[in-house]
Amino acid sequence: MRDGHGDDLHRYERIRANFSSNVTSLTDPTLLREYLRGEIDRIGSYPEPTAASLGKSLAKHHGLADGEVLVTSGATEGIYLIAQAYRELVHYYSPDPTFSEYRDAGRLFAREQRELETFEPGQDAPVGVYWLCSPNNPTGQVYSQDFLESLWSRYPQIYFVIDSSYSYFTEATLPDPKETIQRFPNVIFVASLTKRYAMPGLRLGYVMAHSEVIDRLSEYAAPWSVGSLAISAGEWIVRNDFPHLLDRRQLFVESERLWNAIKSLPYFDPQPTDTHFFLVSCTHPAIGSGAELKEILAQRYGLLVRDATNFGYSSPTIRIAAQRPEENDLLIAALTELSSSLKLTL
């Protein structure tokens, strides 16, 4: 899906606060961006074709072998490489609403796609690829370790892709990539650095998996897909031992405050979450869709949210991510005003 994601600021003017992306403005990227200003001359030369040096550094950081990491142009490239490399297998999708790119990549490459009604593919399930996101986008749900290990152990013939792009933004217990890959060679982790370090315009992610999986993915990876500045950013991050540019405690406190404030309003119902973003369903009689609510907030208040319709929600639903307190206050005030008005116009 090329269009329909969040962070579509290019479509609007005079946006005051952006809740549509899962990147949070509470992250302070000043140190990283100052470093990158000094690296600008690197764009005058081709980058390392496969960003292998950065891959080795990331593997060392995670306690993995050199051949167990592949650097990608954002998590999305990793998703499409997996779908392409394992195109002859059945691709399984969980019953939970989730990131659309898994299915989109499958539509491009997979021999067969199966929509599961439960999380169980069935004991006679053919060899395949099973896509999961934890914390899940858009629900914010984290799947428990016991639940995941049960699936991994009972279906060794299936590769389980765990999109861990939002792992930094939760206090829940998550699987350790090193331990998991050693115990379960059928698990593939897709990781992202762009969300944590507030640099989605650079595109930087990586895949962690057994070396045989990485070798297979590497056969399909295009040369120079990761740009020079993205590699520089990754080198800085690893060299500084994955520095914290975000006060996570403040993020979680602010997320809870925003969630509770919206919960107190009529017509707006925030859904449970394990992270800083969450869904809000709307039953306002004058709002007929998530797209309509998005346009009202953007045009009337200068607030950008994510329409959740293309996640599979037919009733009016949006996704928002907590931002700075003063920005969150703007959204609370806007929804408060909307909840007290029965006739709405842009």
Please report, for residues 86, 112, 171, 266, 283, the alpha-carbon distance to residue 336 in angstroms, rounded to integers and kept in the order given.
48, 46, 29, 8, 14
pLDDT band at 1 (very low <50, low <70, confident <90, very high): very low
Does 230 have pLDDT greater than 50? yes
pLDDT on residue 5: 52
Average pLDDT on 246-256 reads 98
pLDDT on residue 93: 97
> Could you tell me which residue, 12 or 205, shows the higher pLDDT?
205
What pLDDT, in 10s, does the model give residues 166-179?
999 999 999 999 99
Average pLDDT on 108-113 reads 97
pLDDT on residue 345: 60
Does 3 have pLDDT greater than 80? no
pLDDT on residue 7: 62
Average pLDDT on 28-44 reads 97
Q: Which domains does the chain have, with CATH numbers?
A: 7-25+246-338 (3.90.1150.10), 27-238 (3.40.640.10)
Does 46 have pLDDT greater than 70? yes
Does 310 have pLDDT greater than 50? yes
pLDDT on residue 67: 96
Residue 80 in contact with residue 86, Cβ under 8 Å? Answer: no
User: Which pair of structure tokens corresponds to residue 117?
Assistant: 């009604």
Give the closest residue to 262 by CA, choosing from 346, 329, 325, 171.
329
Residue 316 in contact with residue 297, Cβ under 8 Å? Answer: no
pLDDT on residue 343: 62
Work out the percent of the chain whose per-residue pLDDT is above 70.
97
Q: What are phi and psi of 209, to 5 degrees?
A: -165, 175
User: Which pair of structure tokens corresponds to residue 202?
Assistant: 């650079």
Average pLDDT on 8-25 reads 90
SS (H, E, C) 162-214: EECCCHHHECCCCCCHHHHHHHCCCEEEEEECCCCCCCCCCCCEEEECCHHHH
Average pLDDT on 136-162 reads 97
Distinct helix (H) and strand (E) counts, the chain? 11, 13
pLDDT on residue 149: 98
Longest CA span, the chain: 61
> Could you tell me which residue, 10 or 109, shows the higher pLDDT?
109
> Average pLDDT, whole number, for the chain?
95
Work out the percent of the chain whose per-residue pLDDT is above 90.
92
pLDDT on residue 134: 98
319 has which bridge partners?
A: 279, 306
Residue 65 neighbours by CB under 8 Å, 6+ apart: 59, 211
Q: What spatial distance separates the first Cα and last Cα of the chain, rounded to whole Å?
A: 27
Average pLDDT on 308-318 reads 92
Residue 231 in contact with residue 50, Cβ under 8 Å? Answer: no
What pLDDT, in 10s, does the model give residues 170-218?
999 999 999 999 999 999 999 999 999 999 999 999 999 999 999 999 9
